[in-house]
Structure 1
């Protein structure tokens, strides 16, 4: 089966066996399976792609395109690894999986015009469009010299470009300058997302909210702020984000900042499980005994839950937990690569992000936020005074220790 041979009447068994890298595409679109075997057990070996997509209500044309992108990306990565992954890039663009295809499409429109206008055929970039964890440039942050880094870096979360080594070697020395943004949404300004040092530019955010299962909540009070989740009345009744068994650190970072180790211990006592957000949206409001009363979930997945009669989205009064989507731009590249910078902070891609419930900083974009919605931010002073990679490992370690201990005691009982 060639890439362009994937059709709606293709058997999922044939696709996943020939292209195991496409498993992440299925997982990202609501097929809650972490292995090829579990996916085939769930759907059956004879099920055709068209049938599965209709059941899930997934856009068929877009899904096939995502499969093809993932397969092509795998082939490109292999080729790059065989040739020269250390080649100098001008642009690297990372974003969250649900936005990757949109990001890539908008980027390629800009790239086509840029090459046409400038004739620059040496422009090199890496913009992954699939959801694979493989990345030939995963060690980019380890560069020895600023000239080895791309002129424009777009990334997400408190990852490699917030590592202490990277920050001290490049960021603190002023190699990167924040992009001027004349009109920023008031909610993001109020949260403190503008870097006063003028280094990082947060152009969008990934907000976490609460999704309440009304039936499972019963007579318990609806949590209104993040500290409510530490109350023992929610014991074993909260599900938080996880991927492949690894707990996401976002919630833990905020709990630790506000409540210290004691907060992590209290939270661990209340956590029933760690799930992928698509599984939360699929289960919330159903009669499944595996579910819980409260889900800490990205806003976009909360909005995708179809059972609005039995669920409720809570935007906490102290703000949605905020993970940054940002760019680092070399001062020398501000003018030369302005089209790509404008793409990141501009209206067109911004509105498409907002339409997918990824709020952006551009004040001209309608972020479709609830009335009086606010954002909770770790704060630049806090972020820059910590080694974020070490802090992430620490808070996850403390949480896991107490959560596993609780689970063992529960099993023994």
Structure 2
């Protein structure tokens, strides 16, 4: 069972992807120790998988600014991307801008409220022992039109599959794409569990898995596995930093830590890079990123859309 976070309990709430949780927390604790008795705020740095932010479910009212932590890090296109929350947060100036790199205009929030501090991106992993002479899909489109019925794994479980996978497929291929995906998905779960059986020829295991690259690269030396970076781009799941205005000097130190070169190195080493740090790698490999984009986010009621898409699967 996941733990429930009280909306008013913390000044700093960092829900981080598993690979960066420990090193970011160590650096954060060092920063806190340097503050000494000057640390006058409550904080929680945890793995995103272990907690639910329960005040932001699809049926809840929008929280007031004072009900939120002053600094929030969250993973994925979550309830902070709800249309009604986003509209209120922007109109009522909940958050202040942190300048993004001008080299990453596609990922920049035009309103300046949401700072993408790291990229979790999803690729395809193919178990060659289960391919049976079939063609390996090189794109999301080829996968949707393939014959891998009930042989594909995605993160999550029925009723709550990976939101960025569903949204990206819907953005590019509409409901027809979601219905094709339905025919393909036969497995769900945490990526760490999915990769255990890849390349081993196990009967009841997926042939193709859609998982974060930091899990996929653990299999890069396995001769029975092929990692496919889809032609349309790896699907982006953002790690987002939100900061309220008029925070204390100590909390400014927290912000400076989260946007520091130290944290950027941690994220890069874990294959969860800051957008700016990944431009060279993408260009050198002719890779693309598949980000749903701020126009899509602003024109869709994300929570309601995800409920509908999950109901189709």
User: What range describes the TM-score normalised by the shorter chain of this pair?
Assistant: 0.7 to 0.9
Q: For 1:287 and 1:93, how far apart are their aligned partners in 2?
A: 39
Q: Of the candidates 309, 312, 321, which is equivalent to residue 226 of structure 2?
A: 312
What's the secondary structure of 1:195's corresponding residue?
coil
* Alpha-carbon distance in 1 for matches of 2:244, 2:91: 13
**Deviation per residue, 1:346-397 (Å, 9 max, x gap):** 2212212221221223539997997222211001011022221111111111
Unaligned runs of 5+ in 2: none
Q: Figure out how many residues of one structure are paired with residues of the other and give that number.
A: 310
- Structure 2 residue 60 is the aligned partner of structure 1 residue 139: no
Alignment deviations for residues 50-75 of structure 1 (CA, whole Å, 9 cap, x no partner): xxxxxxxxxxxxxxxxxxxxxxxx8x
Residue of structure 1 in register with 2:247 after alignment: 333
Q: Does 1:375 align with 2:296?
A: no
Alignment partner of 1:223 out of 127, 134, 137: 137
Q: Which residue, 205, 210, 232 being the options, matches 2:124?
A: 210
Which of 46, 58, 74 in structure 2 is aligned with 1:155?
74
Q: CA shift at 1:334, angstroms?
A: 8.6
Q: Which residue in the other structure is 1:120 paired with? A: 38
Computing the radius of gyration over CA atoms, which structure comes out larger, 1 or 2?
A: 1
Moved over 6 A (4+): 364-370
How far off its partner does 1:313 sit? 0.8
Match of 1:92 among 13, 19, 25: 13
1:281-320 correspondence to structure 2 within 5 Å: 281-305=195-219, 308-320=222-234
The 3 A distance-change label for structure 1 pair 351 and 201 is same
Give the corresponding residue for 2:94: 175
Structure with bigger RCO (C-alpha 8 Å, 6+ apart): 2
Q: 1:86 to 1:292 in 2, by over 3 A?
A: closer
Confirm or deny: 8 A CA contact 2:17 2:48 kept in the other structure. no
Q: Secondary structure, in 3 states, of the residue corresponding to 1:304? A: helix
Cα distance in 2 for partners of 1:151, 1:294 equals 41
C-alpha contact 2:80 2:86 (8 A) present in aligned 1: yes
Residues 109 and 115, structure 2, Cα contact 8 Å, conserved in 1: yes
Please give the residue correspondences for 1:38-53 in structure 2 after superposition, counting only pairs within 5 Å: none
Distance in 2 of aligned mates of 1:336 and 1:132: 27
Whole-Å Cα distance in 2 between the matches of residues 159 and 308 of structure 1? 34
d(CA) in 2 for partners of 1:280 and 1:103? Answer: 25
Q: Which runs of 5+ in 1 are unaligned?
A: 1-20, 25-73, 400-413
Distance 1:234 1:178 in 2: 44
Residues 239 and 103 of structure 1, relative CA distance in 2, 3 Å threshold: same
Please state which structure has a larger fraction of its residues in strand.
2
Aligned-pair RMSD on alpha carbons? 3.0
More moved, 299-308 vs 363-372: 363-372
Going from structure 1 to structure 2, the CA distance change for 1:200 and 1:210 (only over 3 Å counts) comes to: same
The TM-score normalised by the length of structure 1 is 0.67
Q: Tell me the TM-score normalised to structure 2 length.
A: 0.87
1:306 and 1:286 mapped to 2: Cα distance?
14
Q: Distance in 2 between matches of 1:225 and 1:237?
A: 16
Distance change >3 Å, CA 383–CA 339, structure 1 → 2: same
Structure 2 residue matching 1:348: 3-state secondary structure: helix
Structure 1 pair 98–369 and aligned structure 2 pair: CA distance change class (3 A): farther
User: 1: distance between equivalents of 2:180 and 2:43?
Assistant: 45
